[in-house]
Amino acid sequence: MSTVHIPFLQTGTLAVGGRLLREDDRSVQSHADRPSSLTRGHRACQGCAEALAARWVMDTAVDAADGKLIVANATGCLEVFSTLYPESAWKPPWIHSVFANAAAVATGIASSLHAQGKDDVRVLAQGGDGGTVDIGLAAVSGMFERNDDVLYVCYDNQGYMNTGVQRSSATPASARTATTPAVGHQPGAPVGQGKSMPKIAMAHEIPYVATATVADLRDLESKVRTAMSIHGARYLHVLVPCPLGWGASSAESIALSRAAVQSGIFAVIEARAGELTEVQRIRELAPVEDYLRPQQRFAHLFKPGGEDALDRWRQLAQANIRRYDLLGGTP
Ligand SMILES: Cc1ncc(C[n+]2csc(CCOP(=O)(O)OP(=O)(O)O)c2C)c(N)n1
Ligand code: SF4
Ligand SMILES: [Mg+2]
């Protein structure tokens, strides 16, 4: 019988499930024996990108560690929606202690495992932007500085979502939150404040720093695999749209992530020992409005008086495009 070759065009980063791909090319999610580390039944909002990202991160990390993974979680939505007493949605051994200390708990676990000669058991710490950039920063910085053998993952939804959408130092300028209302001459979060955690991580010159979004889950997966292939301190920063806090439709989380990358607002990068090594180029440059307009937290930007703030967003995107050469072409 003759066979016909049918080209399968959705490959690489464009294929999510990939069940038609060769075994080697498939994502962790498309394997029948996938770990399903974050099981169904948790209480995340519909469209929560934090839940989606955490599931991919954890499944990949569990797979890469041959099932030998211990997880420390900071307080925040991810912890609260996954572990409503007396239930837990986590399959790997998982510990929550307090808001500020996921990195310190993970460091302790890693040291204890090392002292017992169990270097094959891997350790992952995770938390939201508040738990990472604000209250947990000292513990995270200490973990980096000591080069502890931990992969730290920050799910950045740009605010304290679990407690009612307050501003964090990862909240972007002009975003409306419960503590930065859209009133006054400069509505929303103040301009000129805030921190870039990937840059802070790079400044520690740790072995691996990367950023990712849920718009490209294969890229997220490959970054977790890369991180898991390295020992020492590693940091992964994932942008995770929050429909509730951002005032966006539950169906928009992937599109917003994509718009953040394609407009230059969020740079998808990799760095080793403090040096930038990979940059994901923009496929088709999108206007910043594609990212901002669907979000109610930026509604005031599209009313009279919002022009300056909108212009600042354009400048921010341009600055990122230049800094990371997101359009390519810089020799
Ligand atoms: C010491 C301390 N202060 C405040 C809180 C209250 N609290 C719990 S979760 C949270 C916000 C978490 O924000 P983030 O880390 O960004 O995670 P998200 O919920 O946004 O995913 C706050 C303020 C706490 N649990 N402990
Ligand atoms: S509030 Fe936001 S981060 Fe929290 S569960 Fe809902 S969508 Fe996810
Ligand atoms: Mg947050």
**Residues 232 and 207: beta-carbon distance below 8 Å:** yes
Q: How far is the CA of 276 from the centre of ligand 2 (A)?
A: 31
CATH code, domain carrying 65: 3.40.50.970
Query: Is the beta carbon of 129 within 6 A of some atom in ligand 1?
Result: yes
Say if residue 1's pLDDT is above 70.
no
Domain annotation covers residue 329: no
Q: What angle do CA 66, 71, 76 make, to 5 degrees?
A: 145
- In terms of Cα–Cα distance, which of 213, 216, 209 is closest to 230? 209
Residue nearest to atom 2 of ligand 2 (CA): 242
Residues 6+ apart with CB under 8 A from 124: 57, 58, 61, 69, 70, 71, 72, 106, 150, 151, 152, 153
CA of 129 to the centre of ligand 2 (A): 13
User: Looking at residues 68-97, what average pLDDT do you find?
Assistant: 96
Lowest mean pLDDT among 32-36, 201-205, 267-271: 32-36
Residue 183 included in any domain? yes
Nearest CA to ligand 2 atom 8: 48
What distance in Å separates the CA atoms of residue 116 and residue 113, rounded to the nearest whole number? 5
Buried b (16+ CB within 10 A) or exposed e, 132-148: bbbbbbebbeebbeeeb
Q: Note the pLDDT tens digit of each residue in 121-158.
A: 999 999 999 999 999 999 999 999 999 999 999 999 99
Give residue 72 CA to ligand 3 midpoint distance, Å.
17
Cα(133) to ligand 3 centroid in Å equals 10
Of all protein residues, the one whose alpha carbon is nearest to atom 1 of ligand 1 is 99
Whether omega for the bond prior to residue 187 falls within 30 degrees of 0, making it cis, is no
Residue with tokens 């997220």: 220
272-320: pLDDT as tens digits: 999 999 999 999 999 999 999 999 999 999 999 999 999 999 999 999 9
Left (φ > 0), alpha (ψ -120 to 50) or beta: where does 133 sit? alpha
Whole-structure pTM over 0.75, yes or no?
yes
Minimal-distance CA residue to ligand 1 atom 4 = 99
Question: Are the C-beta atoms of residues 103 and 111 closer than 8 Å to each other?
Answer: no
Burial of 247 (0-12, 13-18, 19+ CB in 10 A): middle
Examine residue 292 and state whether it is found in any structural domain, yes or no: yes
Residue from 56, 8, 2 nearest 30 by CA: 56
Q: Whose CA is nearest to atom 11 of ligand 1?
A: 160
Give the distance, in angstroms, between the CA of residue 65 and the centroid of all CA atoms in the same chain.
Answer: 20
- Partners of 213 in the β-ladder: 239
241 lines ligand 1 (CB under 6 A): no
Residue 8: inside a domain, yes or no? no
Nearest-angstrom CA–CA distance, 281 and 264 = 9
In a domain, 58, yes or no: yes
Report the percentage of the chain scoring pLDDT > 90.
85
DSSP 258-320: HHHHHTTSS--EEEETTEEEEEPPPSS---HHHHHTT-GGGGGGGSTT-HHHHHHHHHHHHHH
Q: Is the shortest distance between the CB of 128 and ligand 1 below 6 Å?
A: yes
Domain count, the chain: 1
Question: Which whole number is the average pLDDT over 218-226?
Answer: 95
Domain for residue 219, yes or no? yes
Q: Is residue 7 part of a domain?
A: no
Tell me which amino acid residue 200 is.
I
- ∠ CA 68-73-79, rounded to 5°: 120
Ligand 1 atom nearest to 127, measured from its CA: 15
Give the structural domain span for 81. 34-324
Q: Does residue 22 lie within any of the structural domains? A: no
CB-based contacts of 129, cutoff 8 Å, min separation 6: 154, 155, 156, 157, 158, 159, 168, 169, 170, 197
pLDDT, tens digit, for every residue of 39-75? Answer: 988 999 999 999 999 999 999 999 999 999 999 999 9
Q: Which residues contact 38 (CB under 8 A, 6 or more apart)?
A: 51, 54, 55, 58, 59, 82, 89, 90, 91
Check pocket membership of 130 for ligand 1, CB cut-off 6 A. yes
